A and B are shown apart, each in its own frame.
Chain A
């Protein structure tokens, strides 16, 4: 048999594209199969996105490019394409009358259709399970853009950037069950399949995104496993809501430090007059200082099986950390039936004061007293909080002074070194009950 070899003629522009489509599983997903052949838009952020007051540069992106044009605009595009399970802008929202201004939203569609929780919640750290739902399985149309470091002093945008082989891009994807307009997920290095677990690098990325958005009304949040994270694949959430959250209005009190100094002089305070006890971090010489101090605090909590939630506020300048213990109470049957019936999951947004209610009755009757009672159930007891706080401070190299008097005694008499310190390993199994 005779044959010749020849290069086939390209008859249509679609020929090659079709060939690309055949690469991967054919669903155009975010997995290793399809992502390397993708052309997702890329936003590359400059070295330090904190705006400088005197910056007059002309070769800068417009200040609203990232938040308005890219994030909200592309979110609107996905809404027009019908990718969301409901139109969140048609959900009623109000500020509950009262001193604190809790925000209530009536969302009757969210929980009925939400992806089911697949992971056990009695361990804060669990291994990544490729068999369960994770973000490599979502379609690329749900991704708004890649979010990566530009490695220079200029932000860049590329509408069709290829993913280099071996690269595991960080992506910003829509949350198809949004609780507010612009609700997205930040998924660090999606192909690396990191479990829901804070590390310094990923936390810095979340702070960068808040800084890049540059609006106090665009916040990021994190829920650990056991604190109402439902997917064990590292992700942060974020959305836009131009109302101050009650937690942002709550007074804080700087924790007096007897010894040590936090990295870059990051200030650690305690939340006052708020139903959930928590720590507040701000300051530092740069984003990395703040990110490291908070991340190290989180790392202590997760290593010691204490579930927690994190709110990144004020364009990445301020971070709230809430160790929590609702799951334990729920397991012990200590949560009142009335609260359980509302089926509100007190995750980071609820704790911050934005409460999503699924029953019209609850929404109409929502009072400040109810919100306070719900959130108070989430909080650690004062005793437990003190204990956890001491460990967290120790993890970031600080020792709290008990008060001025004790402080002076320590200076003159007993030294701090001789005081018995509890090693982290002796801490009980978090606040979870393993029944």
Chain B
């Protein structure tokens, strides 16, 4: 029997043990760079300072990077959560959820992200020290004006104050513990009114957690809702302002007349989780251009994303590539069949490698072929995952994951959405 020992991508690897950077390590540093540059590439280096001036708790996340990581956390947020900037950057927002977090609300957030729309929902989050606190979670997408894709999500968090009368609590809470919570609520309100120092920090010194987890949900007040919306708007206008300096303009509304849009960004998220080298090509466009390339593909071939998106796959071939094999691939695509071949391919630096290539059609919710997925495995490459799995098994795993992602995405983009 075989024990699986794989350092997951994005996790720290002890490099003293390895003479050469492993593929996993290279990926981790690639991921770190993506996270660091996520904001600066679009909004210049000065944006962080401007965002720090906004006195709210908020996070900015990048759905285009694998794992949908946090790329910015405001000072207010760090003060509220007890985390340091380094502890949250690169992590997914779900690290703040805990055992009593309402799963229904988590599902609503997941769907809002997938459907790329604004949502306000009450949520029980957890601080670093494990104490829970109720927040109003306000998430909204930031669209790139050039391609209509979601560049970032802004997630504003407004703590929901306890209210003596309007807090909806469960039956047991009514019988026990209510008194303590009433006092807690009053104390908080008094303190924030009297002390008048930085309220965003002071409000979170919430020492009384008794019965908090038993509370089914806590309704946000109208003021809290407006507070969240105002904060989101000012963050959005800051981002819009700085995006004009780089020319990669963003907006709170999706621009309909976007030009060449590769693929929907809500497809990018599930695809980004697939840690293998693969590309998607669109058979409905001339020359079947690449519309998606995984980080691992870029790593394998040495190209950067903008160099290959919109291109056909010809650049991978070179003088010693077998034309007959290419013909076999072409025929399979014509017949709408999957095929597996061994092909000599070339990297950007023109070094060659044997590519164990698997290509398969991918259908959308209507049952029509939407893309072809090509999965590349370098022959005899040191398996980055450390798993003794055949290339074939790994390739099929990628195909399966891509198929369900594409199929499901198109379903939700159906006529049920009021916007379309």
- Hey, which bits of chain A sit against chain B, CB under 8 A? 42, 44, 53, 56, 58-65, 67-77, 80, 89-98, 101, 103, 154-159, 161, 181-182, 216-217, 240-244, 248-249, 251-252, 254, 256-257, 282-283, 314, 317-318, 401, 404
- Residues on A with beta carbons closer than 8 Å to the beta carbon of B314: none
The 8 A-B residue pairs with the shortest CB-CB distance, nearest first, are A72-B400, A242-B408, A73-B397, A69-B397, A73-B396, A95-B416, A90-B367, A68-B401
- Complex Cα distance, B350 from A374, in Å, reads 62
Closest residue of A by beta carbon distance from B100: A283
**Within the complex, what minimum Cβ distance (angstroms) separates B392 from chain A?**
8
Closest residue of B by beta carbon distance from A61: B4
- Residues on A with beta carbons closer than 8 Å to the beta carbon of B5: 58-59
Flag whether B409 is at the interface (Cβ < 8 A): yes
For A181, give its contact among B275, B393, B407 (CB under 8 Å).
B407
- Residues on B with beta carbons closer than 8 Å to the beta carbon of A42: 1
**Within the complex, what minimum Cβ distance (angstroms) separates B297 from chain A?**
17
Contact between chains at A158 and B367 (CB < 8 Å)? no
Per-residue CB proximity of B375-418 to A under 8 Å, as 1/0? 00000000001011100111111111101110111011011100
Comparing B6-14, B152-160, B282-290, the segment that makes contact with chain A is B6-14
**Within the complex, what minimum Cβ distance (angstroms) separates A136 from chain B?**
25
Contact between chains at A65 and B4 (CB < 8 Å)? yes
Comparing B103-111, B132-140, B204-212, the segment that makes contact with chain A is B103-111
Contact between chains at A97 and B103 (CB < 8 Å)? no
Q: Which B1-48 residues have a C-beta within 8 angstroms of A? A: 1-8, 11-13
For A63, give its contact among B8, B12, B407 (CB under 8 Å).
B8
Flag whether B164 is at the interface (Cβ < 8 A): no
Contact between chains at A89 and B103 (CB < 8 Å)? no
Flag whether B273 is at the interface (Cβ < 8 A): yes
- Residues on A with beta carbons closer than 8 Å to the beta carbon of B397: 64, 68-70, 72-73, 76
Contact between chains at B416 and A161 (CB < 8 Å)? no
Flag whether B216 is at the interface (Cβ < 8 A): yes
Closest residue of B by beta carbon distance from A252: B104
Contact between chains at B107 and A156 (CB < 8 Å)? no
**Within the complex, what minimum Cβ distance (angstroms) separates B393 from chain A?**
6
Q: Can you list 16 pairs linking A and B with CB atoms under 8 Å apart?
A: A58-B8, A59-B6, A68-B397, A73-B399, A80-B396, A95-B415, A96-B416, A97-B416, A103-B411, A155-B4, A241-B408, A242-B409, A249-B107, A257-B171, A282-B103, A404-B174
**Within the complex, what minimum Cβ distance (angstroms) separates B267 from chain A?**
10
Contact between chains at B170 and A254 (CB < 8 Å)? yes
Contact between chains at B3 and A73 (CB < 8 Å)? no
- Residues on A with beta carbons closer than 8 Å to the beta carbon of B347: none
Contact between chains at B107 and A95 (CB < 8 Å)? no
